[in-house]
Amino acid sequence: MNKTNRQSVRTNLEGFLFALPWLIGFIIFSVYPIFMSGYYSFTDFSAIKDPVFVGLENYKSLLKDPLFYKSLKNTVVYVLFSVTMGIFLALVIATMLNKKWKGRTIFRAIFFLPSVVPVVASTMIWVWVFDPNHGYLNNFLRIFGVSTINWLGDPSWTMASVVMITLWGMGSSMVIFLAAMQDVPKELYEAAGIDGAGGLAKFFSITLPGIAHVVLYQVILALINGFQYFTQVYIIIRAQSGNISQGINGGPRDSLMMYPLYLFYNAFTVLKMGRAAAMSWILFLVVSFITFVLLKVSKKWVMNR
């Protein structure tokens, strides 16, 4: 080994040594639990007694469980609406705030503010806003003669309510779109203007292709977050039962039983950790598949930069 090679090995080893504490943490707290959850998904495990290998039993029992399908359906519907509407709204608002007009910085702050409010606090406020008798939303709608809506107690309104909560917090996506839009070369707009392009044409032909990679990133992120939607529904359901129920339920007719909530119910309420681990692997496969399809399809509409 010559001197240069020895120096290179030494540098690599030193680098490895510096990274070692993180690597150990990563192996213990991430890699090991991931592999163990895969193993537990094939066992009868309560987190206390030793796991007993049961093969595919957890997966089979889930496929026969109506609440599993209900929770999956609820989550897919939620993801569909919250992602499409959230991205659309964030794009529209970012476009508006990208124009030069007086007071736009104040509006940028206003739209971004909800995303910095802690999720527990904001959900509690929404429970209050949605209160059928004393809530601000119904009080406001009554001015227009709209009858009282039981937003969180009527299964036909619960999904709309949680999507609304998500849309309220789309400020972070909006800011990212705004930053991406400001990165699009101004010369393109000037050239398009000289060619006689209008606002809409500029948006669809310049802005959208220019930020497509960011849109894709935001869609994937929103999708993953959507499939992990838990805290808000957990708080809503606890609040609806006066915070006194043992365990949890799924809201009216289980309309708020989201997939992660049912996973939590299996893991921590009825202590079926093996079943919960199987659910987490199914969720992982579903999200991976959708992300894979999105990435494949995106090649047609996302420019490589």
Partner 1 sequence: MKKMLSLGLSFSMAVMLGACGAKATPTTTSVSSEGGTKQTQRETVNFWYLWGGEEAKIIEEIISKYNSSQDKYEVVGTSTPDQQVIITAISGGQGPDITDDFGGSVPKYANENIAQNLDEYIKKDNVDMTAFVDAALEQQKYEGSIYSLPISVNVFALYYNKDLLDKAGITKTPQTLEELMQMSEDTTLLDGESLTQLGAPFVPTNYWPNIFTYAYGSDFGQPSNWTPDNEGFKKSLEFMESQVKKFGKDALGNFITSGNSNLNTPQDPFLNGTQVFRIDGPWLYNMAKDAGVNFEMMPIPGAENVGGEGWSTVDTSMLYIPTTSAHKDGAWDFMKYMCMGEGNKLFCKLKGDLPPTKALLEDQEIVSLSPAQSVFSGIVAKNNLGALPQSLHTVEYSKAIKDAVETVLLGDSTEQALTKMKEAVSAIK
Which residues lie near partner 1 (CB under 8 A)? 10, 13-14, 17, 20-21, 24, 28, 46-49, 65, 127, 131-135, 147-148, 150, 152-155, 239-247, 249, 252-254, 269-271
Q: Which is nearer to partner 1, 42 or 151 (CB)?
A: 151
Closer Cβ to partner 1, 106 or 244, answer by number: 244
Q: In the bound complex, what is the minimum distance in angstroms from residue 227's beta carbon to partner 1?
A: 24
Give me the least distance between CB of 77 and partner 1, in Å please. 19
Q: Minimum distance from CB of 120 to partner 1 (Å)?
A: 15
Pick the closer one to partner 1 by CB: 108 or 131: 131
Residue (of 115, 226, 123, 118) closest to 174 by Cα position: 115
d(CA 237, CA 188): 50
The residue among 84 and 269 lying less far from partner 1, judged by its C-beta, is 269
Smallest distance, Å, CB 153 to partner 1?
A: 3
Nearer to partner 1, 48 or 106 (CB): 48
Report the relative pairing of strands 52-53 and 43-44 from DSSP bridges. antiparallel
Shortest Cβ 184–partner 1 spacing (Å): 46
**Closest CB 283 distance from partner 1, rounded Å:** 22
Please, which residue, 172 or 249, has the CB nearer to partner 1? 249
Pairwise CA distance, residues 35 & 40, whole Å: 9
Task: Identify residue 237 by its one-letter amino acid code.
Answer: I
CB atoms within 10 A of CB 162: 27
Q: How far is the CB of 62 from partner 1 (least distance, A)?
A: 13
Q: Which is nearer to partner 1, 231 or 249 (CB)?
A: 249
CA nearest 215: which of 183, 170, 177, 179? 177
